[in-house]
Structure 1
C-alpha cells in the first residue's frame, strides 16, 4: 500500500496525456486514444435507467408538445440488427429516424466514411453519425465536428458484446477487455473533438450496438452512462430521447450560451481587424535611439497570430461574453491557439482575442476551475500580484465565473453515494465552473528565443517573478507557482533603460498560469490538501517529486524545474558538444521523456536521476548507449556552462543530503548511524561561507553495512554530506543565490556567442525507446533505480 500524502499536499499524477503530448515523438491516434482513455479511468458513472438519465439531464421542456404514443414499434425493421453489419444498421437507423419522424426538428446524417479536411481535424476521425440543426446539416458525408449537436456511434453486435465499452454485469463497469477498451478510447476522443471545436458545457452522445443502445453525458468531471437496453424490445425510452433532443434548445443540449457564433458581417469583421496596422510596432530587439511608440500599440507578431487564427474561413468564429466587474466584456476569437489534450480535467483553451470594449488584442484563457474549498481563481491571484506591481507576471484585464456553468458528474456521484467519503469519489473534479481569464500580454512561445544569453535572461525574469510571488513583503498571501514548465514561460518584449539612460526593446520572460499555485506555508500552520490530485508536466518536474509523488512542492523543486527548462532548450536549440541532431534529440528523450518502471511503479528516468545525483560525471552529461560511456555536454557560450554548473552544485548537494537522510531513517540501528557513532554525524555549518568548485567527496571511512534490521537489498550507504554540501543545498531553498548567479553571468558579454541553431529534434523523429501500452499509477517510491524504460522488463 502506498503511504499517505504528505500533510497538506495532493498527490501528483504527472505522466498524464499532456506529458505524452509534449514528448519528442508525436503519438499516433491509437496511442493517443489509449492514453486519453487511461486519463478517464474511474470517471465513468452508471445511471440506473435511461428514463432516470433523461429526467436528470434532458428534462422535458414545458413549451414542447408531448410525444404521442405509437401503435407500432418504429424499430421493427431492425429486429435482426444483432446479426447485421455495422454499416447496414447505421443506414437502417437513419431511415427509421427520418421516415418515422422520431426527431423531427433535427437532421440525422452519417459520416462513417469521410473525415473532416485536415485543416479542420488533423487526426482524421470519423464518428458514424450525428444529429444537426436543419440549417447546419451537412450533405458531404463528413462529421463537421464544429456543428454537430449530438454525436452517435454505432458498433456491430454480430459477436455479442465485445464492442460494448462497458460491462453492466461484470465487477468492473469499465471493462478491461481489449476490444471494449478500444471502443471506450474511441468515444472518449470523439467527445473531446466536440469540446475542442465547439464552446461546450457538456455533450450528449448516443451509442448503438446492434439492437442495444446507451446514452452518455460527457463533461470535464466525467461521464454518466445508462445501462445497455434493447431498443427493439423497449423502444419507448429511445423514442423519448430522440423526441426530447429534437425539442430542447442548444443550451439544454450543452452548448455554451455565452459564446455567440458569428455570421455575415459580424463574421467578416474579424478579417478587417486582422488587417489593421495602425499603432503596430515591430517586436525585433533593438536600441530605440529616439524611437517612440504610440500610447496604445500592439506588436506585429500579435496581429499575425490573430490573423492566423482566422485564416480558415470554414472554421467558426465567436463573440465571447466574460464578466468584468458589474458588467460584461466581449471578445472576438477564431481558432484556439492552445488546446489542452484529453477529455478529463480543466480543458484549458487559449485564444488571441480582440477586446471589443478596449479595442486591443489580449490573451484569453478559458478553463474549468476545480471548486474544492480554498482553491482560488487564477484571476484573483493575478490581481494580488498586479496590485503590488510584481514584474514578470501577466496583467489581468478581467475574469470571472460564467453564469451557472458547472459540471454535474461529481454531484451525480454524491447523489448516488450519499454516505461515501468524498475521497472515494471517482471524479477528479467537483462541479467546477468555467472561468475565463483575460490578460493584456500576448506572448511568444519560449522556443522563439534568439540566442543563449537571451534564453538565460528570460528564465531569470521568471525566477524573479517566482521569487517575488513567494516572498514579497506587501503580499497578503504569498504563493508558490507549483507548475513551472516551458509552456508557462512566454516571451514578451519590454522597454528597458540602461544606467546610461539608453532605451532598448528587449525580449523578457513572463511566468504564466498561476491557477494551481498554493499559499506559502507559514510556520506553525498545519497545511491541508485542497484537491485529490495536482498536475504538472513530467518533463520538467524535479527528480524528487517524480520519485515521491505524494510530497509537497518546495522552492527547491521549482528552481530545479527552471534548471531543466534551461537545459532542455539549450540542448535543443543551441550549439553544444552534442555534434549530431540525433544525439541531441536522443539525450532529450532519455533525460526528459523516459521513465523507469520499478516494482510496477513509474518513476524518474535513469538519465535525469544520474545528472542531478552527479553519480557519473561532474556536470551535464549524456550516458550514450552506443559508446557505453558518458559524454560531457558543454555549450558554445561559456555563460551557459557557468549557469548549469552553479545550478548542479546546489541541486546535487540537495540530493546527497536527501539520500543520506533517507538512509538514516531506514537504518536506525546501523553502526554508522549518528546516534550510535558521533564521528559519523555531519555537523551543520557554523556560518555561511563561500564555496567555489565542486563539493569535496566525503573522506569518512567506509564500513561493513550490517545492521540489526538486516540490509536493504540493493541499497548501499550513501556518501555522508559535508558542511559544504549543506551550504550549497541551503542556497536552493530560496531564490537570491541563483538569481545573482544568472544575472552576473548574463552581464558578462564575453561569456556569450552567436549560438542559436535550428530545432535539433526533426519533425519526424522516432524515439529510441518503446512506448508502454499500460502504465501503472505513479506512487511513492522505493530506492531509486538506474534502469531506463528501454531496459525495464
Structure 2
C-alpha cells in the first residue's frame, strides 16, 4: 500500500491535522545507519531521535523504549518487539526477568520490529517494470539471496505476527498499528481480525518527513483513531466490583459444590456422615475457591462492556438499547490475528445472577446470520439444553445513536490496484522461486464486532468428574441435537469446548449444554452454502466431512459421529482403564490425522480404518463397564466392523437408535465412581490443543485456531497527570488510587482470605510451541503446570470439583416474549433492573489498555457418587428475579 494512501485513508484525522509545532524533519534520523552489524546499532539512535534527546519529542505523550531482549525461556515465541511505545500516563511495574516479555505488550500503544539490514526485509516492493498483481510481496526469493536470509526473514515475519497477536489478545482493540524497520528503511503495518495491511518501504534519510508526520499524527490522534475499542472501559464503582466478586464467588461455589463454612456443610450434607465429610473439607475448599475465583475475577480489573441490543418499543419500532455488563477475566482468549478473536467471560447481571458474554468478530456479508438469532430461534422452539439469549448485537463504533458497527479495515482493500498477487514454488533443488504465471486469489473477508450474552455459565466438558457425568452430559447434548433437528437446525461444530456442564438451581447434577452455534444452519441447507468446505474442530469431524469432497452436504449424522468422537476422546484421556496406555500416543493420531493434496487439507482415513477393523479402539478397556458397553455399541451402530461407504451412513445410524443406546448404558449401575484419572500419555499432553479448521475453497489454505489456554496479565499503574491530556478527553490518570489499592506485583505473596492477584506469570504457564516454524507456520502458545519461582509449586494431577448437589436456590424463569422476533426481543429484567449498579453509564473516550488472559479451571477430586437424574425440559421463558 502506498504510504500516502495509508496516512490519508487509514490514519483517521491525518488530513485535517495541523503540523504547526512539529519539529523539523530535516536530518531527523541522520544517526540511524543504513545497515549495521547489530540491531541495537539501529534502534538505539532511532529511539533517541523519536524521544527527542534535545527536548523536542517527535511523538509527544508516547515514550519509545527498548525492553529486555528476552525472558528466561528461549525461542521465537518468547521474544518481544525491539522497540515499543508506551503512553506517558502509564507506569509499568518492574517485574522479574521471567515476567518481563509479554507483560509489557499488554500496555503497548505501538511496536517496532527492527532488523539490521534491508536484506532482511520480510517484504519486497515490486520493481517499476513489474505489475503489482504479478509480484510476490512476502518472502520473495529474489530479495533473499540465501536460505539463511530466507530463514531470518521468515522468523521476522513470525515475530511480527506473534507480537500483533499478543497485543490484540491483551487489549480491547479494533486494530493495531506497528512499524517494521530494516536498516534505515521503514514500513507501516495495520493489523485487524481480517489480516494485515503493509505499506511500501521508504528510507528515513531520503524521506524523514513521512515518519515524522506519522508520529505527530499518532501523538495527537484520539484513542479511537489508534484502534482502541471504547465500548469497553474500567468499572469505577467499588460497589459494583464487590457485587461482581460476590456473584462470582457464589456461582463458583454452586457449580463446583465447594464447602467453605459450617453452614455450607449443614446445607449440603444429607446425613451426619456427609456433614462430617463436608466439614473436613472446609479448609481445602477455601483454597480451591480462591484458585477458582481467579479464573473469573481480578481485584481492580472489573470492566464494563456495552452490548448493543435491538428491541422493539411499545409502538413496534426497533431501537438499539445499550446494555452494560460487567466482566473481569476471560475464560478464553484469542491466539491468532486473522480470526474471530473470541473472548469469553462469566458476566454478572443486575440481579446478581451469572451468565456468559461472548465477544467475537463474526463474518460480514450475506449468508452469515448472527449466532444470537440462531440460538433465539432454538429458544422459541423450546429446544432443551441450549442456553437462552439475554441480549446480543453488533458492537457500534462508539455511541448509542451510532448505527455503524465496528468492522475490519484490511478487507476493504481486496481489489486495490496495488495488491500483489504473485506466487512462488519449490524447484527440483528444493529452492523457492517466483511463479508469476500463477496469481493468488486473495480473499480477505470482512468481519463485524459482535457480542452475545447467554443466561448460564459453566465449565467445559473436559472437566467432567467421572464416566457417569461424561455420558450423562453428552446424552443431554444429544437431546439438544434431537430437539434442534425437529426445529430444522443442525449444529455442525461439536467439540469438547462447545459443550459445557452447568448445574441448574435446585437440581442435583450438572446438565450438558450445547453452545457455540455460529455454524448452525437449516437441516435442508444446500451444499456449499458457506465459504468453507470444512466447519468445526478437526479431531471430532466425521470421516465424510473430512474427505475433501466440496459437494458433500453436512447432515445430522455427521454431528452424531462428532459426538461419538468427543466421548471417545474424553474417556481415553481422563477415564480409568484396565490396560496400559502407551499405545494411546499413536491412537490419538487417528482423530487428528490430515494430509494436504494440491493445497487442500483433508483427513478421515484413520477414522475409516477404525470403522473397518477397530484398529485404534480395540485395545481400549475402561474399568467403567457401562462406558465400555456404550463405546462398543456406539461404534457398531455408527458402522459395523467392515468397509464404510464414503458419503453415506448405515440405515441404523439414527438419532432415535443412538438415544436408546445411550439410555440403556445410563440405566446400568456405575460402580466405583469417581473414575477420573489424569493420564500421563507419552508425547500427548493432557490438555492437547484442539485444531479448529476452516478450509477455504478459494484459497485452498487451512487456517488453524487452537484451543486457548491460560495467560494472565501483568500489572500497570496509571500515573495521574503524567502525560499529555488531549482536548475534550478525561484525565487518564483517574484510576490511580483504585489501581493502587487493587493491584499487586507478581512477586508479592498471595494474600490469604482473598482472591489472588491475576498477574502475568511466565513460569506458571510456559509456552511449549514456537510462534514460528519454517514455512511461516505460526503456532500459538500453550500453558504448562509449572509456577513462578517465587511461589509454591503446584501440581495439576487431580480432576475438578464437580460433584452434583441440591441448591437452595429456586428455579427462575426467563421472561421473554415469544411474539417478538429475534431482532425485536425485549430485554429480560436482569438487564432492566434499576438501583443495582447496572444501568448504562456515560461512555468515556479512554481505552482499557490491558486485558486478562484466560486461565485453567481449578481441579479437585470428587468424592461422592450421586445417582443420575433424568434431564428436565428447561423453559425458554425464564424470569431472573431481582435478589
TM above 0.5, yes or no, is: yes
Counterpart position of 2:460: 445
Gaps of 5+ in 2: 95-99, 128-133, 141-149, 259-266, 272-284, 312-319, 397-404, 422-438, 701-883
Counterpart position of 1:747: 667
Residue 42 (structure 2) pairs with residue 89 (structure 1): yes
Counterpart position of 2:6: 53
Larger RCO (CA within 8 A; separation ≥ 6): 2
Q: Give SS of 1:490's match.
A: strand
Pair 1:271–1:400, CA change in 2 (3 A): closer
Matching residue within 386, 390, 396 for 1:397: 390
C-alpha separation between the residues in 2 aligned to 1:72 and 1:414? 34
Counterpart position of 2:381: 388
Contact 1:339 1:349 in 2 (8 A): yes
Residue 122 (structure 2) pairs with residue 145 (structure 1): no
Residue 439 (structure 2) pairs with residue 481 (structure 1): no
Mapping of residues 688-699 of structure 1, within 5 Å: none
Contact 2:473 2:512 in 1 (8 A): yes
Q: Give SS of 1:642's match.
A: helix
Counting helix residues as a fraction of each chain, which structure ranks higher? 1
Pair 1:780–1:167, CA change in 2 (3 A): closer
C-alpha separation between the residues in 2 aligned to 1:483 and 1:379? 16
Pair 1:655–1:379, CA change in 2 (3 A): farther
C-alpha separation between the residues in 1 aligned to 2:641 and 2:13? 62
Q: Deviations over 1:192-243 (max 9, x none)?
A: 1111111111001111111001100111111110011112111111111111
C-alpha separation between the residues in 2 aligned to 1:484 and 1:227? 43
Mapping of residues 195-210 of structure 1, within 5 Å: 195-210=168-183
C-alpha separation between the residues in 2 aligned to 1:153 and 1:597? 33
Who wins on radius of gyration, i.e. which is larger?
Answer: 1
Counterpart position of 1:318: 303
Contact 2:343 2:360 in 1 (8 A): yes
Contact 1:259 1:321 in 2 (8 A): yes
Counterpart position of 1:110: 66
Residue 347 (structure 2) pairs with residue 337 (structure 1): no
Residue 359 (structure 2) pairs with residue 366 (structure 1): yes
Q: Give SS of 1:80's match.
A: coil
Question: What is the deviation of 1:318?
Answer: 2.0
Counterpart position of 1:409: 410
Counterpart position of 2:370: 377
Pair 1:459–1:235, CA change in 2 (3 A): same
Question: What is the deviation of 1:275?
Answer: 7.6
C-alpha separation between the residues in 2 aligned to 1:117 and 1:307? 28
Gaps of 5+ in 1: 1-46, 291-298, 473-477, 496-502, 623-630, 662-725, 782-793
CA RMSD of aligned residues (A): 4.0
Counterpart position of 2:519: 516
Question: What is the deviation of 1:92?
Answer: 0.7
Question: What is the deviation of 1:578?
Answer: 3.3
Contact 1:287 1:504 in 2 (8 A): no
Residue 224 (structure 2) pairs with residue 237 (structure 1): no
Contact 2:395 2:450 in 1 (8 A): yes
Greater alpha carbon shift after TM alignment, 559-568 vs 136-145: 136-145
C-alpha separation between the residues in 2 aligned to 1:598 and 1:164? 27
Pairs aligned (count): 614
Question: What is the deviation of 1:395?
Answer: 1.6
Q: Give SS of 2:509's match.
A: strand
Counterpart position of 2:562: 561
Q: Deviations over 1:653-682 (max 9, x none)?
A: 5984625x8xxxxxxxxxxxxxxxxxxxxx
Q: Deviations over 1:554-599 (max 9, x none)?
A: 112111111111111111111224324x333x14432223435667
C-alpha separation between the residues in 1 aligned to 2:188 and 2:254? 53
C-alpha separation between the residues in 1 aligned to 2:373 and 2:682? 39
Contact 1:109 1:137 in 2 (8 A): no
Q: Give SS of 2:504's match.
A: strand
Contact 1:576 1:635 in 2 (8 A): yes
Counterpart position of 1:328: 322
C-alpha separation between the residues in 1 aligned to 2:556 and 2:695? 28
Question: What is the deviation of 1:507?
Answer: 1.8
Question: What is the deviation of 1:139?
Answer: 7.4
Q: Deviations over 1:678-710 (max 9, x none)?
A: xxxxxxxxxxxxxxxxxxxxxxxxxxxxxxxxx
Counterpart position of 2:82: 128
C-alpha separation between the residues in 1 aligned to 2:357 and 2:298? 20
Residue 136 (structure 2) pairs with residue 172 (structure 1): yes
Counterpart position of 1:32: none
Counterpart position of 1:609: 608
Counterpart position of 1:293: none
Question: What is the deviation of 1:609?
Answer: 3.0
Question: What is the deviation of 1:765?
Answer: 4.5
Mapping of residues 664-743 of structure 1, within 5 Å: 729-732=650-653, 734-743=654-663
Q: Deviations over 1:522-552 (max 9, x none)?
A: 7xxx565233565321111111222225232
Matching residue within 286, 293, 298 for 1:307: 293
Contact 2:25 2:208 in 1 (8 A): no
Counterpart position of 2:442: 426
Residue 622 (structure 2) pairs with residue 635 (structure 1): yes
Contact 2:494 2:562 in 1 (8 A): yes
Pair 1:440–1:266, CA change in 2 (3 A): same
Q: Give SS of 1:369's match.
A: strand
Contact 1:165 1:175 in 2 (8 A): yes
Pair 1:738–1:532, CA change in 2 (3 A): closer
Question: What is the deviation of 1:280?
Answer: 6.1
Greater alpha carbon shift after TM alignment, 99-108 vs 454-463: 99-108
C-alpha separation between the residues in 2 aligned to 1:739 and 1:338? 31
TM-score, scaled to structure 1: 0.69
